Chain A
Amino acid sequence: MSSGTGVGPVEKTGVWDRFTIGQKRVIWAWAFLAVPIVFYVGIRFYPTFQAFWLSFTNWDLLRPARFIGLANYQKMFADPVFWKVFQNTFSYLIIGTPVSLVVSFVIAYYLDRVRFMHGFIRALYFLPFLTTAAAMAWVWRWFYQPVPIGIINGFLANVGLPSQPFLRSMDQALPAIMVTAIWAGLGFQIIIFMAGLRAIPQTFYEAARIDGLGEWAILRKITLPLLKPTTVFLVVFSSIGFLRIFDQVYNMTTNDPGGPLNSTKPLVLMIYQTAFSSYDMGYAAAQTVVLFTILLVVSLLQLWVLRKR
């Protein structure tokens, strides 16, 4: 790793020695940052501006990009499919985030107190987090199949309930996919909640018990308020995850991506199809700008709301 010395031998005897220790350290710092700065400028910032610029063009990979003003945005806002997709994306967020957070908190809250076989039970909840979303989407897709194949319908038939269409239904497909996504993320949220619970000093609980507070009061007055940083982190993290859902939807609806009839299509899948099936890059870029705006607004809103209280 001697190449990392950064400054050549020539300078070492001449120019390099004339710098003060402080100046040398500044030079080192910028030498360390040189490659990363090139990376962040070239692979993060420049592409971001390029995405904004492309959203105002009609670029389609074949002809050179031409500036067309707000035409892409006008087209998008006049497109009923876009509004359906917009609604779907928020459905994933508005149902998925609260449900997954409440479930994972309840499990973490009780799991934290369990002593008997604690590690084993925790592992059961955590395992799904380590799987590949694309692979698990296919397992769940199989679960949702109609009677002779699907496990869930097989179970329903056994207990005498009518079988359900799940992925073939316009009403049930989105919740069915959402269950898969919630299942995949639950283990991570449980572990983070448990870490948050552990970080609360025991003395708070002891003091509360001496004051005669009951379980419920301790939960409301001590645990939940002290757990707020963890909760804020998980709300933002999981919201961003649901707004960007793709792997599950793509793999569970390959015969009609985002179907049936766009009823499950999230924004990212629409972007993917516009860009890499229709090669309408300018239009797709406009959609990514909308995604960027949604993510920004939702994160800032949540941080603001959760910080206030």
Chain B
Amino acid sequence: MILTLLKRELKVARRNWIGLAIPLLFFIIVVSLFPFAVSPEAPVLQKLAPGVIWVAALLAMLLSLEQFYRSDYQDGSLEQLLLMSSPTSVALSKILAHWLLTGLPLVVLSPLLGVLMQINHGFAHADHTWVLMLTLVLGTPTLCLLGAVGMSLTLAASRNGLLVSILIIPLYVPVLIFGASTVTASLENMRYNGELAILGAFLLIAIVFAPFASGRALKISVG
């Protein structure tokens, strides 16, 4: 059943790709402006890199949340989905599709932005790009999952974009802290297993609770 839902999500997204391209474009533009605004010197950029890339990724994810559930809510298909399948599986398929369409492209683009921010400057052998990608692989699904809960809670409110931001940014902050500090630790040649494990723990907790919570909230929003 989830597969049927997922296929539909991806098909709709393929025909509507401009909406999906905007957060990615935003991600690239924000990061690429930093060398102009701050300094093109490699050591400075390198120091800023983890924070800048992570903040840009977080904002891009926040920007893309608007597409979660909204069009399905407006055209009535959300109602039909909730009648025909369980709320949790509706939420789960939405979250999965949303991550594949926004989180995954961010991960794929991040090495490019790592180069732009001189992330490997001065290191002959270490490759921090992999660490950056790994943190985003663990972190962006968590952001998706939390965002889904926020979106489904505020679906019935008009102009809910701001409300969602206020609601979920506090929940995003821990992910941001551990995501960026993992990369920083790696840049400072320190061990970063602990931070990475915490990012993984966030993801696991979110996977267990968020689809269920989002599904329940969808039921309430539709009723």
| Pairing of A with B | no
